[in-house]
Structures are given as C-alpha cells and as structure tokens.
Structure 1
Amino acid sequence: MILSRADASKENKGKGVVKSAEGARKKPLDAHYFSTFFWTKLKEAGYEKGRLGKWTKKFDIFSKDVVLIPINHNNAHWTGAAINFRRKRIESYDSMGMERGHLLRKYLDAEHRDKKKKPFDFTGWEDYTLEETPQQENGYDCGVFTCQFLESLSRGEESFAFTQADMPYLRRRMIWEIGHAKLRDDL
C-alpha cells in the first residue's frame, strides 16, 4: 500500500501536504518498501548469494527519497530500518529501544557497485536512531509499531505521533486499511 501510494503521489504532484478533515499530513515521499524477506536474505546470504541485485532491476533505489525495510529478528521481534537518501542517514526504529547494527551500509555499497559500477560515497552519511522513538509496554505490539514507523517515514515524518495507548485504535485502522487495500490519510 505504501508503494501504491508513492506511485500515485508521483502521478498527482501537489504542494507537499495532504489535507484531511482532521488536519494536514505530509505528502508521501518517493519511497520503496522492501518485503519482509529482504532483511533475512541480506543477513543470511549476503548481496551476491542472496541475488539481491535482482530485487531492484526494474528501478533505481538511488533515485528514491527513502527505502523502508521491515526487519524480523529470529521470529521474536519486529523493527524497522530506513535508508533515507534525503537526510543521508541509515535509520533504525525499535519499539523496545535496543541498539541494532545494520548491514545496510554493505548493502548500499554492493548495490551501487552492481548498478553504478563504483563504490557508494558515504560522505556526510550517519547512522541514526531517534531518541524519542515510541516504546511498547508489552511483548506483542512490535509489529504494529514497526508498521506505523515505516508508514510515517514514507510521508517524511521526523517524529511519531503515537504511543502504546494508541495501539487498539491503530490495530483497528490497519484492519480497515488492509480490507480496503488503501492507506488512510487522516490522523
């Protein structure tokens, strides 16, 4: 749904803000969203053996504003990561506040060497973790938090307007969005 919204946004270029009855949200970025299998392939097989170059043969990730990656940690916890080309950051979002190392620098370099035939220039790039990342207060809401992190990032948000108290509403909202195959633009 994030990919569909990003594609539709490119076709309907506007002023950068989507209006709704509740207020305004930022216009969706030109985002790519990797499937939940991407991180496992990268971690277990690496770029070459995992044949990850084929995952981007129809588009150039370096032309995107942001690349979003859901990460499953041993079928026990979900987190999110982003390659933010606009801010030159490798971003990590974990609702349990754990520090997580990333293979994304190696991935970016391998992808750049494969597609652009030269190393990726990391000048000015930083590893980034938002200090005020919302935290879960139970052992089962990590998936909802991760979906909300990545959806907010797809709109260029720099902070998150939800907490553990919002999870019941966000679960119902996600069910509606999945059932209608459309992300809502209201808050």
Structure 2
Amino acid sequence: MDPLLPLTPHAVSVTAPLKPYHGRTEAAPADQEPLVVIDNIPLRLWDLRRVPPTVMMHDEAMNAYISLLVRREATWAAVDQRPLRFHFFNTFFFTTLTSGRDEAYNYESAARWSRDIDFKKYETVLIPINVANIHWLLAVVHPQRRVVDTYDSLGSASDWMLQCIVQWGQDDARTYGHPRGRWRKHKVRCRKQDNGKDCGVFVLKRMDHISRGIAPERMTGSMNYYRRRIAAELLAMTLL
C-alpha cells in the first residue's frame, strides 16, 4: 500500500478547519463534547487542535491513534488466520517503567502492562517514549532476535533509555522462562525533523509504516500531509 496515498476530498475538508492550539495558556474547555471516542479515549476539538502544524502532539491523540494500529493488526491477523505479529504499547508504558523511586528503571512498576502477555510470541513490540515532555521517540523491540532499535527524529536517544528497554526485555524473558542471551541495541538512521514540534508525527507514522512493512526511507511525505492524514483517520476512527 502506498504510504503517500492521497487524502480523499472528504479528509481534506474535515481537517482544513482545524486551527492550531497556541500554548499552555489556552486550557481545554471542560464542557466540550467529544467528537469521537476511540477505545475509551475521548477526542475533543481541543485535542485535535494539537494535531495541525506548529504544535507538538500530546498523549490523547497519540494513544487514540495507537489504538487504531492495534485494531488494524487484530483485523489483519483474523483475516489471514495468523497470530498477532505486532504489539503496540501506549505512551504511558515507558513512563511507568521508569517512574519508580528516583525515576529509575523498575520492572515491577510496569508489571501490570505485561501480565499474561508473553512478548516472545511477537515479532515486534513498539514502544513510544516521551522525553521530559518535550520530545517523542520510538523504541522497537524484536524479542525473538533480542534486538532493540530506536528511531529518533532528533538523534537524541540516551543510552540510559536504551538500556532500560534492554533490561525490560531481559526481565520479561526471565519471567516467562525463556533462554537468556545477549541483547543488541541499534540506533536506526532515519529522517530527521526540521523543527521542534514534529516528533510525535514521526513516531506515529513510523509505527504505522513498520507494522505495514514499509522501509524507513519511504517516509518522504510532508509533515503537513501526515498531520492531516492522522487527523482524518482519528475523525474517521479507522486507518485510511
């Protein structure tokens, strides 16, 4: 499937009126009704105004889109009569994994996220990471090969973050009785952002492309195109 499939006229029309959110001083209206609800995540007009250009995406829109990726993988697996290949964590997993005492790695703090899930059964586990509330990057774990790839549109992923993901993989393998072995870390060369706001878009479309088997170098569309596509998909509650 073409990752640059043109937006439909309807998608263009419904996303054109969205005006960007301008800073923390503009609070979310408490009485604003949701436009859509995706897996118990209500998206209001205020939330979708965090999707247009010049604005950094926030958790609600990110997690709603990740829910659409989960749905698509489940649908494809059912149609092809195959096991699930991809597991998508939401934006809170890594924060929880590292939010214990002194903000250090704590496997137990995130245990509920992985309870009853044997990640060794998946080809790929995708973990969006929020860095100090100012940047998003993506960790991609290949449990069967013991490999952790990171995609960072600023190139700022710290070794500490990578080591936390590796440690989680090792602890999870021990929990489920899998053979231990050496894990490898790899910072993947990928397209870089040219501003301070597009990181969330890079993460969501990278998750989309990886789960569709699309190579990193094929991410060639404009950020405005990707943002409008994400907004249209959220409003339609399905991936186009």
- Please give the range of the TM-score, normalised by the shorter of the 2 chains: 0.7 to 0.9
Q: Distance in 1 between matches of 2:117 and 2:225?
A: 35
Distance 1:100 1:156, change over 3 A: farther
SS in 2 for 1:68: strand
Instruction: Say yes or no: does 1:156 pair with 2:213.
Output: yes
Match of 2:95 in 1: 40
Distance 1:86 1:9, change over 3 A: farther
Distance 1:85 1:119, change over 3 A: closer
Unaligned runs of 5+ in 1: 15-28
Match of 1:5 in 2: 72
Instruction: Say yes or no: does 1:89 pair with 2:150.
Output: no
Match of 1:111 in 2: 172
Match of 2:25 in 1: none
2:200 pairs, out of 136, 143, 149, with 143
TM-score by length of 2: 0.62
Q: Distance in 2 between matches of 1:156 and 1:121?
A: 27
Q: Distance in 1 between matches of 2:203 and 2:217?
A: 11
Shift of 1:88: 4.2
Match of 1:173 in 2: 229
Shift of 1:115: 2.4
Which protein has the larger Cα radius of gyration, Structure 1 or Structure 2? Answer: 2
Unaligned runs of 5+ in 2: 1-67, 101-105
1:77 pairs, out of 135, 146, 149, with 135
Shift of 1:68: 0.3
SS in 2 for 1:44: coil
Deviation string 1:150-180 (CA, Å, 9 cap, x unpaired) is 11112233424224x6100100100111111
Q: Distance in 2 between matches of 1:38 and 1:120?
A: 23
Q: Distance in 2 between matches of 1:120 and 1:175?
A: 42
**8 Å contact kept, 1:2–1:31:** no
**More strand by proportion, 1 or 2?**
1
TM-score by length of 1: 0.79
Q: Distance in 2 between matches of 1:99 and 1:76?
A: 13
One-letter identity of the residue aligned with 1:172: R
One-letter identity of the residue aligned with 2:168: Y
Q: Distance in 2 between matches of 1:121 and 1:156?
A: 27
Q: Distance in 1 between matches of 2:148 and 2:215?
A: 14
Distance 1:114 1:106, change over 3 A: same
Instruction: Say yes or no: does 1:65 pair with 2:123.
Output: yes
**8 Å contact kept, 1:95–1:145:** yes
Q: Distance in 2 between matches of 1:90 and 1:98?
A: 16
Q: Distance in 1 between matches of 2:70 and 2:231?
A: 18
Alignment: residue pair count: 163
1:53 pairs, out of 111, 122, 132, with 111
SS in 2 for 1:12: helix
Deviation string 1:81-101 (CA, Å, 9 cap, x unpaired) is 110246542010111122422
One-letter identity of the residue aligned with 2:225: Y
**8 Å contact kept, 1:77–1:142:** yes
SS in 2 for 1:95: coil
Match of 1:18 in 2: none
